Amino acid sequence: MHHTGNVEIGTAVGLENLKLELRRGLLTLAVLSRLQTEHYGYTLRKALAAGGLAIEEGTLYPLLRRLEGQGLLVSEWRDEERRPKRFYRLSPAGYTALARLREEWAALTAAMDRTLNADGPAARPALDK
Amino acid sequence: MDLIDRYLHAVRSYLPRSMQDDVVGELAEDLRAQAAERGEALGRPLTDSELAAIVRPYGHPMLLAARYRPKQYLIGPTVYPFYIRILKLVLVAVVLVHAALAVAFAVMGEPLSRSLGALGNTPFAAVVAVGWLTAIFALADVFVPRLPFVESWDPLSLPAPAPGPVVSRVNTALELLATSAFLAWWLALPRAEWLAFGPADRFLTLGPAMDTAYLPVLVILLLSLLRLAAVLVRPYQTTFWRAARIALSAAGIVLIVSLLDAGGFVALQEGADSPQVAAIVPLLNRGMTIGLAIAAAMNAWEIVRDVARLATGRQQARVQV
């Protein structure tokens, strides 16, 4: 067996990076799904966290802005509880994208289930001498 | 101005003017909502350290602001490995050229300040070279993916598998460059003997052995260039080109041996009657003899290696069949 020598992967930091990478694409789907109902940033973040998908504070707003730039979201500033808040919801293009991504997600999870089950539970291989 | 205001002020300073109000307004709302919620739970205004705990997860203002911008880079991952490789070569070349200049100035009897000046210029030349290289690669990063042969690439146009081990194109290019430089020097030598002797060309001239060597060396150099150009175009070490290298190395040895017999690479200029200069000539010829003997030994070693590789290549081919 050949080890690539990337010492980071074995560390807690390396594992954290792998998890972040895995979650990055999923968060977009989760945000689109949640924004079928109108939210402003703070309540959206709480809703995602309540569903088990906590998102970093500094990540959500740039993501919302990017999705809006891609035409998948629309937003408007409105006063609520005497404070101006920016509310987001899906645009018509966002609904179409969400439907496609849902299908993709279903196909992916099915494929991943098959793959992970076929390969069996992760076991530590014998280390090279 | 509390800690949240200070944070927002810092973030604003890193954002483009067009998005400042929008982004800062939204962040302010989020931070204030968290602070209000926490304050309600505690039943008192928050301390600075409690506000800091709310702000900290957002990260450094510069990093947070950067996340709002599209990903920007000068040299992308496609060309980056080539950039680093060429950068290293260019830096080594800059250092070598300046070191060679310093030595050349010293040998030519120029004042020491010229040699030191050449060495002192190395960092500046390196910075300029890095600048140009970066600019060229930044342009390459933009334009290479749009080149017609990259954009409309057809898998059927892939070349046949390498008929031999792959040769590094960078090494071949460097060898080609060095051989071309030597060829240019060799071609200019009969008309500009100072290229060999420096200021001493007033007393020294090329000896009869050089007349004998001139044409054969020229032929060997031209054939070597031809071989290198062919390997550069198709970078595979085929039996033919390996055999060609063996033949050229062998020709080099034959030439060197015949020159060692002939002797007299350097001679005294007509009319130069200084006994000191006359004493130098045999020393120079002995130096040349030693140098050529070493070159012949290196050629012989190359031949041994190439023959060994040819033999193992044949063996492997038989095993595969």
Place of tokens 């950039």: B83
Answer yes or no: do A56 and B57 touch at CB < 8 A.
Answer: yes
Chain A residues within an 8 Å CB radius of B68: 61-62, 65
ipTM of model = 0.72
Answer yes or no: do A61 and B68 touch at CB < 8 A.
Answer: yes
Answer yes or no: do A65 and B57 touch at CB < 8 A.
Answer: no
Distance from CA of A57 to the nearest CA of B (A): 5
Q: Is the dihedral of CA A48, A50, A51, A55 positive or negative?
A: positive
Q: For residue B45, what is the DSSP state? A: P
Distance of CA A124 to the CA centre of its chain: 29
Name the residue among A56, A59, A61 with its Cβ closest to that of B27.
A61
**pLDDT confidence of residue A49:** 92
Integer Cα distance of B221 and B232 in angstroms: 16
Residues 6 or more apart in contact with residue B187 via CB below 8 angstroms: B218
With beta carbons less than 8 A apart as the criterion, state whether B286 and B266 touch: no
**pLDDT confidence of residue B301:** 93
A59 near B CB under 8 A: yes
Integer Cα distance of B247 and B175 in angstroms: 18
Provide the greatest CA pair distance for chain B: 108
- Mutate: best of A61, A80, A81, partner B, most B CBs <10 A: A61
Residues 6 or more apart in contact with residue B115 via CB below 8 angstroms: B101, B102, B103, B105, B106
Size of interface A-B (CB pairs under 8 A): 40
pLDDT digits (tens, 9 = 90+) for A12-47: 778 888 888 888 889 999 999 999 999 999 999 999
Answer yes or no: do B26 and A61 touch at CB < 8 A.
Answer: yes
Bridge partners (DSSP) listed for residue B158: none
Exposure b/e, A8-25, CB count within 10 A at least 16 = b: eeeeeeeeeeeeeeeeee
**What are the backbone dihedrals phi and psi of residue B44, each rounded to the nearest 5 degrees, phi first?**
-160, 165
Place of tokens 């927002």: B8
Residue B69, classed as helix, strand or coil, is: coil
With beta carbons less than 8 A apart as the criterion, state whether B45 and B53 touch: no
| Contacting A residues, span 24-43, partner chain B, CB-CB under 8 Å | 40-42
Answer yes or no: do B57 and A40 touch at CB < 8 A.
Answer: no
Give chain B's residues under pLDDT 70.
Answer: 1, 163-164, 263, 272, 313-321
Bridge partners (DSSP) listed for residue A90: A73
Distance of CA B163 to the CA centre of its chain: 27
Chain B residues within an 8 Å CB radius of A86: 22, 25-26, 29
| Contacting B residues, span 17-36, partner chain A, CB-CB under 8 Å | 19, 22-23, 25-27, 29-30, 32-34
**pLDDT confidence of residue B245:** 86
Name the residue among B26, B34, B59 with its Cβ closest to that of A86.
B26
Chain A residues within an 8 Å CB radius of B30: 41-42, 45, 57, 61
Q: B131: phi > 0 → left, psi -120 to 50 → alpha, else beta; which?
A: alpha
pLDDT digits (tens, 9 = 90+) for A68-125: 999 999 999 998 878 889 999 999 999 999 999 999 999 999 999 999 888 666 656 6
Integer Cα distance of B304 and B228 in angstroms: 20
Distance of CA B18 to the CA centre of its chain: 43
User: Which two structure tokens, joined as six digits, stand for B308?
Assistant: 């060994």
Chain A residues within an 8 Å CB radius of B32: 83
With beta carbons less than 8 A apart as the criterion, state whether B206 and B196 touch: yes
Give the global pTM.
Answer: 0.55
* Long-range Cβ pairs for the range A101-109 (8 Å, 24+): A101/A28, A101/A29, A101/A32, A102/A29, A102/A33, A105/A29
pLDDT digits (tens, 9 = 90+) for B209-258: 888 888 888 898 999 899 888 888 888 777 888 888 899 899 989 888 88
Bridge partners (DSSP) listed for residue B204: B268
pLDDT digits (tens, 9 = 90+) for B19-43: 899 999 999 999 998 999 999 999 9
Chain A residues within an 8 Å CB radius of B67: 58-59, 62
Q: For residue B267, what is the DSSP state? A: E
Rounded to 10 deg, the angle between the A12-34 and A41-50 helix axes is: 120
Per-residue HEC secondary structure of chain A comes to CCCCCCHHHHCHHHHHHHHHHHHHHHHHHHHHHHCCCCEEHHHHHHHHHHCCCCCCHHHHHHHHHHHHHCCCEEEEEEEECCEEEEEEEECHHHHHHHHHHHHHHHHHHHHHHHHHHHHCCCCCCCCCC
Chain A residues within an 8 Å CB radius of B36: none
Bridge partners (DSSP) listed for residue A75: A88
Q: Is the dihedral of CA B214, B215, B221, B222 positive or negative?
A: positive
Select from B128, B129, B135 the least CA-distant residue to B79. Answer: B135
